[in-house]
Amino acid sequence: MDAMVAGLTVLVLILLFLGSGIWVFVGLLLVSTTGLSLVLDFPPHRIGVILGKILFRSASSWELAAIPLFIWMGEIIFRTNISARLFQGLAPFVSRIPGGLIHTNVAGSTLFAAVSGSSAATTATVGKITTVELKARGYDDALSLGSLAGAGSLGLLIPPSIVMIIYGVLAEVSITRLFAAGVLPGLLVGGLYSTYILLRCALNPALQPANDADALLSKRRAILDLMPVLLLVTLVLGAIYSGLATPSEAAAVGVFGTLILATVLRQMSWALLRDSLLGAVRSSAMVCSILVAAAFLSTAMGYMHVPQDVARLIASTDIGPYGLIALLAVFYIVLGLFLDGISIVVMSLPITLPPVLAMGFDPIWFGVFLVLMVELGQMTPPVGFNLFVIQGLTGVPISRVARAAFPFFMLMAFGVTLITIWPQIALWLPAALFG
């Protein structure tokens, strides 16, 4: 079958099955099996053999062990008062600058992202405290909700990141290097957010209350409140970057440390342990089943030569490296309107990675670029997960939350532009740490 026809067949199948509303992993399996049958006329038993090999290979992937462990870590923290301590610890350090406690959304999300790995978990955990506190103190609703929607998405970029683990497995690149590459871009985007909040409130002081009692709190006490999160960050990232542990081993260390902290803080109970385990199992089963289905789709498209044909088509158009990145940016923003981050990565990577590598881009850099594009999708309706999380926390209509998030969407897009022009923002730290 002609390459163009094969590609269009796969596209129609994706739109048909995923647009029907069935589970993502089932849709991906149906796309793969139907594509192999229609395009290449593979018999069912041959398709079954291919799927069996992929299942075995995916089940034996050590790197994927980090995903359920990081998810469990986030589930435990979500059910303790560590997020409340995080807010109390950050408040005295930001209450005297323009923007005041709105900065806790950015700083809190940045810190919590370093122990969570999930955008939704970061938004929910930080937001369950800050949305109530900021509203009660009289801060501007739009700036408060928008900053939470933007900063919560940093859970995908600041290591450890579940999406980065998935990208590393699928693209076959070092997850440790990916984690290091996400640090400076994450801090850059967080800095852009804080600068915007500061300027908005400096130009319009009515966006925050005139006086805030948290300015009088002891910074010594605040540091004690920050210690649980800081200890976990040091434990997990220190183990990875020192070379003492792989990301999967560091995730196990992080879970152990979180259980110890919950016990020391007198938050541990059988109910917390049961609920956190059940939550982690549900989320992990969803993520891992999508990954297996995505690996099958990638293999199926390889048999149909779709990635190679797309790469040749792009090369023949003479679009140039930056033209390709601009085209992919629009492509990912459109996908973000309809799909969650994990689905975007696993579905698109078999098609987009070959031409990106052919244009000479570093796969580590592209991983950071891809995660940033997925984060943009977290802030766009109708399927912006962060928007839904905030709506659930506050009851504010999704359209209003989306409008509040738009300035932060543009700031992140500006951050993507900066790392595209200066890729060393992402690549300097991995080179400095690992050579």
CA pair distance 186, 184, nearest whole angstrom: 5
434 SS3 class: helix
What pLDDT does residue 180 have? 92
Tokens describing residue 295: 């690996």
Residue 39, H or E segment? helix 24-40
What pLDDT does residue 371 have? 92
CA pair distance 267, 274, nearest whole angstrom: 13
Identify whether the C-beta of residue 87 lies closer than 8 Å to the C-beta of residue 129: yes
Residue reference for tokens 């709105």: 102
Identify whether the C-beta of residue 388 lies closer than 8 Å to the C-beta of residue 394: no
Alpha helices by DSSP H, listed for 304-423, are 306-316, 321-336, 341-358, 363-377, 385-394, 398-421
Neighbours of 242 (CB within 10 A): 10
Residue reference for tokens 């209450």: 95
Longest CA–CA separation in the chain, Å: 73
What pLDDT does residue 382 have? 64
CA pair distance 83, 108, nearest whole angstrom: 8
Full domain range(s) for residue 171: 3-434
- Tally of domains within the chain: 1
What is the dihedral angle through the alpha carbons of 265, 266, 269, 273, rounded to the nearest 10 degrees?
Answer: 10
Please list the pLDDT of the chain residue by residue as tens digits (435 residues). 555 666 677 777 777 776 666 777 788 788 888 888 887 888 888 888 888 888 777 666 676 777 888 888 888 888 888 878 888 888 888 878 888 889 989 998 888 888 776 777 788 878 888 888 888 888 999 999 999 989 888 877 888 888 898 899 888 899 999 999 999 999 999 999 999 999 999 999 888 887 655 444 566 777 888 888 888 888 888 888 888 888 888 888 989 999 998 999 888 899 999 998 998 888 788 777 777 777 787 778 778 776 666 666 666 677 888 888 998 898 888 777 766 677 788 778 888 888 888 888 999 999 999 999 988 887 887 666 778 778 877 888 888 888 999 999 999 999 999 999 999 999 999 999 887
Residue reference for tokens 């290097």: 177
CA pair distance 371, 366, nearest whole angstrom: 8
Query: Residues with Cβ < 8 Å from 153, sequence gap 6 or more?
Result: 119, 122, 123, 375, 376, 378, 379, 386, 412
CA pair distance 102, 132, nearest whole angstrom: 12
Taking Cα atoms as reference points, which of 343, 303, 426, 222 lies closest to residue 50?
303
Q: Cα–Cα distances in Å, from 324 out to 2, 111, 344, 366, 424?
A: 24, 34, 18, 12, 19
Taking Cα atoms as reference points, which of 66, 89, 244, 238 lies closest to residue 164?
66
Alpha helices by DSSP H, listed for 79-118, are 82-94, 103-116
Query: Residues with Cβ < 8 Å from 176, sequence gap 6 or more?
Result: 240, 241, 246, 247, 434
Residue reference for tokens 């509303």: 21
243 SS3 class: coil
